Structure 1
Amino acid sequence: MSSITRAVSPHVSEPADGLWSNCLVVGGVAYLSGMTARDRQMKAVEGLDEYEQSRIIFTKLQNLVEAAGGRASDIVKLTIFVTDISRRELVWKARQEFFSGNFPACSLVQVAALAEPSIKVEIEGIAHIGAGAG
């Protein structure tokens, strides 16, 4: 039986104890919680569009996968939540800056709201550590 380990990056703020884990690894698979554009104090970054928020989020996901021993190309599945699907191209533009070759399988879902009004994008993922292109 595989044990559960928590991967922590010095570049991604961890939530307070008892809320959630940003990245859990089981049997070489990393499960990445929904990330948003928050600063080191876990406050939402104000005034950013979907592209800018997505870049921050993809960087966090990359940092967490690296903390788990992998790289961005190990990410095989993304679920992207947006508050305005008409602005999805801005999210896709940011995604293209982080991935190439086999892009992760992906779902894009519009939601009525996220954790705070200024948060327009939330992204979660799954990575198979060591499976991506080098």
Structure 2
Amino acid sequence: MKKTRVISPAVAEAPPGLWSNCLMVGSMAYLSGLTSRAPDGKAVLGSNEYEQAKITFQKMKDLITAAGGVMDDIVQMTIFVTDIKQNREVWAARKEFFTGDYPACALVEVSSLASPEVLVEIQSTAHIGCSAKA
């Protein structure tokens, strides 16, 4: 099987040599840890966990759509937060993007992410075409 990079015009790519936001191998899509960074790569959008999670889930949706899938094709997620007490904010945003059987998921508190204003980062794996909505 061949590895293919998936891009979306709605999601800024990292500079060459750092990482890919989404790679496909067969029907599997692997999404890097995504955050609510603006397209300029510098500014962080959203001032709280709910807003940042919602922006990040939208980026995931844009990439999964570009890969030919739907959000319910995501089978696994790891969500990193800097304040575990704000988990309900992250779950509220997640409910806006998933239905039916939610992905297998871990929520992990970390001491910091890429910069102090980044509160949420989400990494995921999808099996394109596996959901009833595909």
TM-score bracket relative to the smaller structure: over 0.9
User: For this pair of structures, how many residues does the alignment match?
Assistant: 133
For the 8 Å contact 2:49–2:86, the answer to whether it is kept is yes
Name stretches of at least 5 consecutive residues in structure 1 with no aligned partner.
none
2:85 maps to 86
CA drift at 1:46: 5.4
TM-score by length of 1: 0.97
2:6 maps to 7
Name the Cα RMSD after superposition: 0.9
CA drift at 1:47: 5.6
For the 8 Å contact 1:12–1:63, the answer to whether it is kept is yes
3-state SS of paired residue (1:40): coil
2:114 maps to 115
For the 8 Å contact 1:23–1:31, the answer to whether it is kept is yes
Q: Percent identity?
A: 55
Name stretches of at least 5 consecutive residues in structure 2 with no aligned partner.
none
1:125 maps to 124
For the 8 Å contact 1:3–1:26, the answer to whether it is kept is yes
User: Which runs of structure 1 show a deviation greater than 4 angstroms over 4 or more consecutive aligned residues?
Assistant: none
C-alpha distance in 2, partners of 1:84/1:106? 17
2:41 maps to 42
C-alpha distance in 2, partners of 1:80/1:46? 17
For the 8 Å contact 1:23–1:30, the answer to whether it is kept is yes
For the 8 Å contact 2:46–2:52, the answer to whether it is kept is no
C-alpha distance in 2, partners of 1:53/1:21? 20
TM-score by length of 2: 0.97
